[in-house]
Amino acid sequence: MTDMILYNGPIYTMEAPGARAEAIAIEGNRIRAVGRLNDVLPLANADTRMIDLGGRCALPGFNDTHCHVVLTGMESVKVCLRGVRSIEELIGRMRRFIEARRVPEGTWVVGSGYDHLLFDAPRQPNRADLDRVSTRHPIMVDRICGHIGAANSLALARVGFDADTVIEGEGGIMEKDASGQLSGVLVETARDVMANRMPKRDAAALAPLIQGVFEEASSYGVTSMQTDDLEAAPIGEIMAAYRRLKDEGRATVRIWEEVQCPRPAALRRFLALGMRTGDGDGFFKIGNIKIITDGSLGARTALMRADYADAPGARGVAVYTQADLDALIMEAHLSGMQVACHAIGDGAVAQCVHAMAAARTSDGIDRRNRIVHCQFADDALLDRMAAEGICADIQPAFVPSDYLMAEARMGARCGIGYRWRSMARRGIHMGGGSDSPVETFNPIWGIDCAVNRTDRGSLPAGGWRPGEALSVWDAVRLYTSEAAYLTFEEGEKGMLKPGMLADIAVLDRDIFAVPHGEIRHIRNVMTVMDGKIVYTA
């Protein structure tokens, strides 16, 4: 029985460049038929819902390959610091939030999204600044990259940080002032320890935050998200929150859950639960082990193989020694887990390639391991990635956010950055992610950035380093067929073929026909997920 037919508009199956159909029939949560109108319409019956596309364009539902769903949801209960232009403005926003919401004394107040490079006097906020906000509320703020932050005196005391505290593991920095006391600035692992010691939310509190993200995602045509949530809550609470939404019929996005395991002990605790990559159902699956191997470009903690152009002598932060990373990835690999490594600098990318290649050689199994961000890599590194089947999880929207900083940080070496066309030419499988809440998870903006490599106005029409721009076809694949490949689901989603899941995004214009400069103006007008219409404009 055919439940729904979409017709009268270009339907791009994503099987091959330009492959399109005239109609698509859905039965239950699967695609029954795709093809010519005269072949599909006879499948209709009296109960079939007929959807006239009116010339609009249909694609497979979009799949964000790297984001943070729970952290994005938590933005609604944080102080938004995006766009602040000074320490004083940051302090003012934090104070107004506390006053407007009448936050009880002793309650944590968290702000996120500031970029100190936009400040009139560029520097990180510190303990003294945040003590001016309040000495009666523990306060923490995060830079937009999530790799550096700051805390006030009460927050430091609450989690037990003082001048004698030692952060275990590589990469953690607790800055100190001239007197040897903590400045409040926390870098990489130190910032993570602070976040992990803060009070966590349970499933009941997480579910409405996640649902808000699902609703926004559906409005963008997003039907799948590959997310790292474990900084926000323990895995049991995360799974319970997603399960609650599914049981209540409110799960409108499929989830691939990345599991952060920064150390062997954490990995073994997770493995003892008996879950492995791909376990789950059609709405929630255990994904890969997530390992963060360096920091961010903005904080100069991304690990480089040469000095930063604007900070001679600085090469970033190595979170692991090569031997330690090799051992961690090998253990995850041999245990049946896919691995995704955050790596921005070419030094970190080189470490990951070495470790992933060794793991694959150990048993010959290709787990489609991926390097998340993979922002800087020379030809030799890309060649090795291609040879070893290592995938890249890129964030096209980083270009308009990063290009000026990238030129300043990297200087003459900037040419080894954001090399998407070079990756595509080598056959490296690439997925497209937003890193939300760092960037919007609207995939149309990501596609626009991949194709045009421009910002919202100041960059020339040719874009920044346009030789690395992707075609529209390859850019759309980042969020459809290639995204499905990264999770071993290319037989289930990412294309519109008979038998595959009925996850569909309908756009107001044909993304393959409009001038490239108009891509950013395209809007999703309808989303079908699991055979049901979950959004209409």
pLDDT in tens, 80-110: 999 999 999 999 999 999 999 898 899 999 9
Handedness of CA 383, 385, 388, 394 (dihedral sign): negative
Arithmetic mean of pLDDT over the chain: 95
Q: Buried b / exposed e across 434-446, counting CB within 10 Å, b at 16+?
A: bbbbbbebbbbbb
Lowest mean pLDDT of 105-119, 165-179, 262-276, 328-342, name the range.
165-179
pLDDT of residue 170: 57
Kindly state the tokens that stand for 211.
Answer: 């649902």
Q: In the prediction, which pLDDT does 202 show?
A: 81
Q: Which amino acid is at 489?
A: E
Confidence band of 531 (pLDDT split at 50, 70, 90) = very high
Kindly list the domain boundaries of the chain, sorted by start residue: 4-60+500-536, 70-197
Burial annotation 304-324 (CB, 10 A radius, 16+ → b, else e): bbeebeeeeeebbbbbbeeeb
Output the CA–CA distances (angstroms, integers) from residue 36 to 20, 27, 42, 55, 499, in the order listed. 9, 17, 11, 15, 17
- Pairing label, strands 139-143, 148-151: antiparallel
Residue 43: predicted pLDDT: 97
pLDDT in tens, 168-207: 765 678 999 999 999 999 988 889 888 888 887 788 889 9
CATH for 70-197?
3.10.310.70
Cα-Cα-Cα-Cα torsion 350, 356, 359, 361, nearest 10 degrees, comes to -80
Distance from chain centroid for Cα 437: 8
Q: What is the pLDDT of residue 310?
A: 96
- What CA–CA distance (Å, rounded) separates 518 from 511? 9
* Percent of the chain scoring above 70 in pLDDT: 99
DSSP-derived secondary structure for 289-309:
EEEE-S--TTTT-S--SS-BT
pLDDT digit string, tens, across residues 194-244: 888 888 778 888 999 999 999 999 999 999 999 999 877 889 999 999 999
Looking at residue 457, its pLDDT comes to: 73
Residue 408 has pLDDT above 80, yes or no: yes
Residue 75: per-residue pLDDT: 83
455 versus 372: which is more confidently predicted? 372
How many Cβ atoms are within 10 Å of 138's Cβ, its own excluded?
23
The model's confidence at residue 318, banded by pLDDT at 50, 70 and 90, is very high
Give the residue among 18, 42, 17 at the shortest CA–CA distance from 32.
Answer: 42
Helix count and strand count (H, E) for the chain = 17, 22
- Looking at domain 4-60+500-536, what is its CATH homologous superfamily? Urease, subunit C, domain 1 (2.30.40.10)
Cα–Cα dist 378/399, whole Å: 18
518 pLDDT higher than 90: yes
CA dist 420 and 398 (Å) reads 12
Neighbours of 114 (CB within 10 A): 27
The predicted pLDDT at position 171 comes to: 66
Query: What's the pLDDT at 199?
Result: 84
Residue 523 has pLDDT above 90, yes or no: yes
CA angle 294, 391, 412 (to 5 degrees): 55
Q: What is the pLDDT of residue 393?
A: 98
Q: How confident is the model at residue 145 (pLDDT cuts 50, 70, 90)?
A: confident
Task: Provide the percentage of residues in the chain whose pLDDT is more than 90.
Answer: 87
Is the pLDDT at 161 greater than 60? The verdict is yes
pLDDT of residue 169: 60
Q: Give the H/E segment covering residue 89.
A: helix 87-101
SS (H, E, C) 10-76: EEECCCCCCCEEEEEEEECCEEEEEECHHHHHHHCCCCCEEEECCCCEEEECEEEEEECHHHHHHHH
What is the C-alpha separation between 41 and 23, in angstroms, rounded? 8
Using pLDDT thresholds of 50, 70 and 90, give the confidence band for residue 455.
Answer: confident
